[in-house]
Chains A and B, each alone.
Chain A
């Protein structure tokens, strides 16, 4: 415990030196959620087309549409939303620290995460799947992935899952981002890109890739996308209500169609709130 204190102190000194010099950069204090200033901070992904992607006109994607709708129901206009990038590894900490009010960032509900944060939803049922070339007729079942060359992002568990459970002889190429896998996939240097089908559909829907890629449709896992909130937050019930309304007034269907439409993505019907498929 002593050691912890010392290192904490020394790190804090360094941190202080850093902030002292870093001031004037960007104002981070807006992160504290405040009803009085009438702002809501939402965590999304910045680099996943179809779900959460930073674009020159702002942010676009299914997660963004969901979050915007929910925020509106909570009483915020679009201008009052502040978007923050929440990388997969950072999501729980961001919620626990109150950096964001809620997170909609391909956030699967799992028991481990539920110990740390609360989830509203689920709002989408996705499955781990593979993206393959449209003319590829060799990969028809998950077993065909043996000997295949897989691509995924560094630190992702989905590719490792396939290798461990289904295709021990498969090869793995990690890259910093999914888009780095696509040229190789196009050229045949890579056979399959693997992650959640929603993310894959987002890539396949981009106009440049129309007709070039298809989804394997293997449904390897169930990924229940939820909206993460701080443990014990009263936002959970309000968000659940907003999500129900979104499904009821068909905005949900529209968001799916807008973002995944071109990929022929066979989305699951809108899940019932609290219905977590394991």
Chain B
């Protein structure tokens, strides 16, 4: 019944999906935190940039961003991201870049709402101690903000895992592209779909459950 799976590299495709998700998650956490810092910081230009970035990027379909990364950044501007001559590597890295650029705007918003849950007194007390903006953020506010944004961030991560499928638009050999190929060549439509669905359920459901539990565990009790 599952014979057809032997002709396809399902494990490889799933592994690509996982790699896409993990690398983009780390990248968007970093870039998203920087964006959030810009948006709450004292420099007006950076605040404006952060706001504009989030409002623009959130409103473009991810598909467009990833196509742009390939057509614009790579094919026209000549950025290869160190992938040399190898399309597979270049496309994979471009997809990660596109996912980071897109997802970080959501990370930024999740963090910003996390920052808003930190009581005013915390920042005021930190300032009274003579800490600078960077120190207030780094030592007092962000650690608490991160703890209360675990659940929203987990949602962003789940969305990210599912969004990795969009990389199929530039030919990254991940799970959705494999599914399309399998459906075109094999007759077992329902079986193939069930297998692919199972893959994503296995990837996303535990992530949500575990991070939901972690979120409760680390939440700052107030």
Q: Which residues of A contact B (CB under 8 A)?
A: 3, 7, 149, 154-155, 171-176, 180, 183-184, 187, 189-190
Contact = CB atoms under 8 A, between A and B. Distances in A.
Q: Is the interface of B mostly helix, strand, loop or mixed?
A: helix
Contacts of B88: 171
Interface in B79-135: 85-88, 91
Sorted from nearest, which 10 A-B pairs have the closest CB atoms?
A184-B75, A174-B171, A171-B87, A189-B75, A183-B76, A173-B87, A183-B75, A180-B71, A187-B76, A187-B75
B74 interface: yes
A171 B86 contact: yes
Interface string B56-75: 00000000000100110011
Nearest to B71: A180
Nearest to A174: B171
A121 B91 CA distance: 41
Given A173-B171, A174-B171, A184 B76 contact: yes
Nearest to B80: A189
B203 to A, nearest CB: 24
Interface string B171-199: 10000000000001000001000000000
Contacts of B85: 149, 171
Given A154-B171, A155-B184, A180-B71, A187 B78 contact: yes
Contacts, number: 39
B10 interface: no
B169 interface: yes
Contact of B71 (A3, A155, A171, A183): A183
Contacts of A154: 171
Given A187-B76, A189-B75, 15 more contacts: A3-B190, A149-B85, A171-B85, A171-B88, A172-B171, A173-B87, A173-B91, A173-B171, A175-B171, A176-B67, A183-B76, A184-B76, A187-B75, A189-B74, A190-B75
Contacts of B190: 3, 7
Contacts of B67: 176
Contact of A172 (B70, B74, B87, B184): B87
6 contacts: A154-B171, A172-B87, A175-B171, A176-B169, A189-B76, A189-B78
Contacts of A155: 184
B130 to A, nearest CB: 54
Contacts of B71: 175, 180, 183-184
A189 B67 CA distance: 15
A172 B85 CA distance: 11
A87 B189 CA distance: 21
B216 to A, nearest CB: 39
A184 B72 CA distance: 9
Nearest to B168: A154
Nearest to A190: B75
A159 B70 CA distance: 19
A2 B101 CA distance: 47
Nearest to A154: B171
Nearest to B77: A187
A205 B115 CA distance: 58
Nearest to B180: A155
Contacts of A174: 170-171
A172 B78 CA distance: 17
Contacts of B184: 155
Nearest to B76: A183
A154 B170 CA distance: 9
Interface string B155-170: 0000000000000011
